[in-house]
């Protein structure tokens, strides 16, 4: 059986935090506010994967009220999601994610993000796609109040 999932995440931009996207620390004056490292692209990917397997969402598995997740790397949480999918009998076919941010320019970091996500999930890099776009100055991402990400994935049961 083939299943599809989608995920969405958004975090507010703020001073005094690192900007982590796809497990990459991006040099910039603003970072994302959140309980963990606030990596919106990895959070969207995790929600897509969990949704495809009907395993709810990242808030259920890694609640922001739990101190063990304070400041944690989202890549580590992604590894846990990958292990959970394997345990439930699923393998990932592919992942496609989009980061929506007016600034900074993300193109120089995309290849490393893809590698980080693929490595965390034990996938080949050609199974993961990450891209970035702006909203031409419109909306909360366009006015640099925050960064959002969307992701979609396809998984299949290894038991079929």
Task: For residue 57, say whether it is annotated as part of any ligand binding site.
Answer: yes
Copy the structure tokens of residue 11: 């975090």
The annotation status of 61 as a binding-site residue, yes or no, is no
Q: Is 64 annotated as a binding residue?
A: yes
Quote the percentage of the chain above a pLDDT of 70: 99
Strand bridging mode 31-32 / 19-21 = unpaired
Q: Is the pLDDT reported for residue 39 higher than 90?
A: yes
The pLDDT score that the predictor gives to residue 156 is 98
Q: What is the mean pLDDT of residues 84-97?
A: 98
Distance CA 112, CA 118 (A): 10
CA distances (Å), 5 to each of 34, 109, 113, 128, in order?
23, 25, 20, 14
Task: Assign 3-state DSSP to the chain and report helix, strand, coil percentages, each to 5.
Answer: 35, 30, 35
Token code pair at residue 57 = 């969402």
141 annotated ligand-binding residue: no
CATH class in words for 1-155: alpha beta
According to the annotation, is 87 in a ligand binding site? Answer: no
pLDDT at 160 over 90: no
User: What is the predicted pLDDT for the residue at 87?
Assistant: 97
Q: Determine the average pLDDT of the residues in 5-30.
A: 98
Q: What is the pLDDT of residues 110-121, one digit of tens each?
A: 999 999 999 999
pLDDT category of residue 20 using cuts at 50, 70 and 90: very high
Please say if the pLDDT value at position 67 is more than 70: yes
111 is an annotated ligand-binding site residue: no
Question: Largest Cα–Cα distance in the chain?
Answer: 49
Is 133 annotated as belonging to a binding site?
A: yes
95 cis-preceded (ω within 30 degrees of 0): no
Give the pair of three-digit tokens for residue 77. 């949480």
Q: What is the mean pLDDT of the chain?
A: 97
pLDDT > 90? residue 159: no
- In the predicted model, what is the mean pLDDT of residues 113-140? 97
* 43 assigned to a ligand binding site: yes
* Residue 9 dihedral angles phi and psi, to the nearest 5°: -150, 155
What is the radius of gyration, based on Cα positions, of the chain? 15
pLDDT attached to residue 153: 98
- Please indicate if the annotation marks 18 as binding a ligand: no
- Residue 109 annotated in ligand binding: no
pLDDT at 57 over 90: yes
pTM of this prediction?
0.97
What's the confidence (pLDDT) of residue 30? 98
């Amino acid at each position: 059986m083939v299943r599809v999932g989608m995920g969405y995440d958004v975090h507010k931009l703020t001073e005094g935090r690192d900007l982590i996207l796809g497990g990459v620390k991006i040099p910039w004056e603003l970072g994302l506010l959140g309980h963990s490292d606030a990596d919106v692209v990895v959070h969207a990917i995790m929600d897509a994967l969990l949704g495809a397997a009907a395993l709810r969402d990242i808030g259920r598995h890694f609640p922001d009220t739990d101190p063990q997740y304070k400041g944690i790397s989202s890549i580590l949480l992604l590894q846990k999601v990958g292990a959970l999918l394997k345990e439930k009998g699923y393998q990932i076919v592919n992942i496609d994610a989009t980061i929506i941010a007016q600034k900074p320019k993300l193109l120089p970091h995309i290849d490393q993000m893809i590698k980080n996500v693929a490595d965390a999930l034990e996938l080949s890099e050609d199974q993961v796609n990450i891209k970035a776009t702006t909203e031409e100055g419109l909306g909360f991402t366009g006015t640099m109040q925050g960064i959002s990400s969307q992701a979609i994935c396809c998984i299949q049961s290894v038991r079929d």
